[in-house]
Amino acid sequence: MQSLKAVIGMAATLALTTPVLAQEVNVYSSRHYDSDNALYEEFTDKTGISVNRIEADADELIARLTAEGANSPADVFITVDVGRMARAEEAGVLQPFTSDVIKTRVPAHLRHPDDLWFGLSQRTRIIFYAKDRVETPPQTYEELAEPKWQGKVCIRSSSNVYNQSLLASIIDADGVDAAKTWAAGVVGNMARPPQGGDTDQLRGLVSGECDVAVANNYYFLRGFDGDVDGLTSGIEGIGWVWPNQDGRGAHVNLAVAAMIAAAPHPEEATALLEFLTGEFAQTQFARDNHEYPVVDGMAGDEGTARLGAFKPDTTTNTSAFSRNAAEAQAIFNQVGWN
């Protein structure tokens, strides 16, 4: 029989060699969807690791992370757009991390080339149009700048990160000069000064203020889910186009996740990040917010099925959205896109 001294010595050795998980992970998130609660509850049920979440605007969270520095309690940062994550990257609050699970599941073009972040879910930017007023809608983003659409386009402001990422992708695909020409053309075609969110652009089609609008797919699909004021009543009169199907494909943006540079619980953070690419989480993103999974082979929901199949842009690495973000904003400023 082992002596008490030997048992104590063995226990001490195990304590030094076996990592003890803190059983908690701290998340700063700019996703404001109640449906995400189910994700964290499932993760806790599966792992025993509790999730402490702080929600706020992405820029507020980045400012907080910057102020906290090495003393930040945050482990994971989640935001709804690559452009916002680029600001966190520039602030130096992220760290690269390697996960074979994530690399296997998430395609390379939806991951940062230096492993600073990866996509959780995909959102598509679609061209919508009024069926009763438009017989031949634009088939590409570039066509939105053509003179025949003068005074007919509703689109959000240049401060909107969705538009910033769209222009950043055009810079990557067509070059700076072509992107500037495009942005100037869209400004000349606006039916009204930019105002409101994506839903307001769709409302413009229903009200007759514009004939063509640009919005993310899920804003449109929400109009079928319930009574969205100014949209649901006229939604059957709205058609849609998957842009650039004969070229690079439709622009896809991402909800994005990353590990914080000062993460006090990196093992737990990795466990959560890998969980978010699993079947439960990917299905949840699709079912509850009409987003598209980032993992190949996982289906969307009935809402996204309504929109039909499309060719996404897989040639542009989404890191271009952050790399070209400053150039995109400069172009918006130059052409007077408010």
- Measured CA to CA in angstroms, residue 326 lies from 173, 176, 178, 298, 332 at distances of 16, 12, 16, 34, 10
Tally of domains in the chain: 2
Helices and strands: H and E segment counts in the chain: 14, 10
Local confidence pLDDT in tens for the 338 residues of the chain = 334 343 334 333 333 333 445 599 999 999 877 778 889 999 999 999 999 999 999 999 999 999 999 999 999 999 988 888 988 999 999 999 999 999 999 999 999 999 999 999 999 999 999 999 999 999 999 999 999 999 999 999 999 989 999 999 999 999 999 999 999 999 999 999 999 999 999 999 999 999 999 999 999 999 999 899 999 999 999 999 999 999 999 999 899 999 999 999 999 999 999 999 999 999 988 888 899 999 988 877 888 899 999 999 999 988 898 889 889 999 999 999 99
Alpha carbon 72 to its chain centroid, in Å, reads: 24
Classify residue 52: in a domain, yes or no: yes
Annotated binding-site positions: 32, 218-219
255 & 115 share domain: yes
Which domain does 174 fall in, by range?
125-250+322-335
Classify residue 157: in a domain, yes or no: yes
160 & 244 share domain: yes
205 & 329 share domain: yes
Classify residue 74: in a domain, yes or no: yes
- Radius of gyration, alpha carbons of the chain: 22
268 & 278 share domain: yes
130 & 118 share domain: no
Annotated binding-site positions for Fe cation: 32, 218-219
Classify residue 5: in a domain, yes or no: no
pTM here is 0.86
42 & 70 share domain: yes
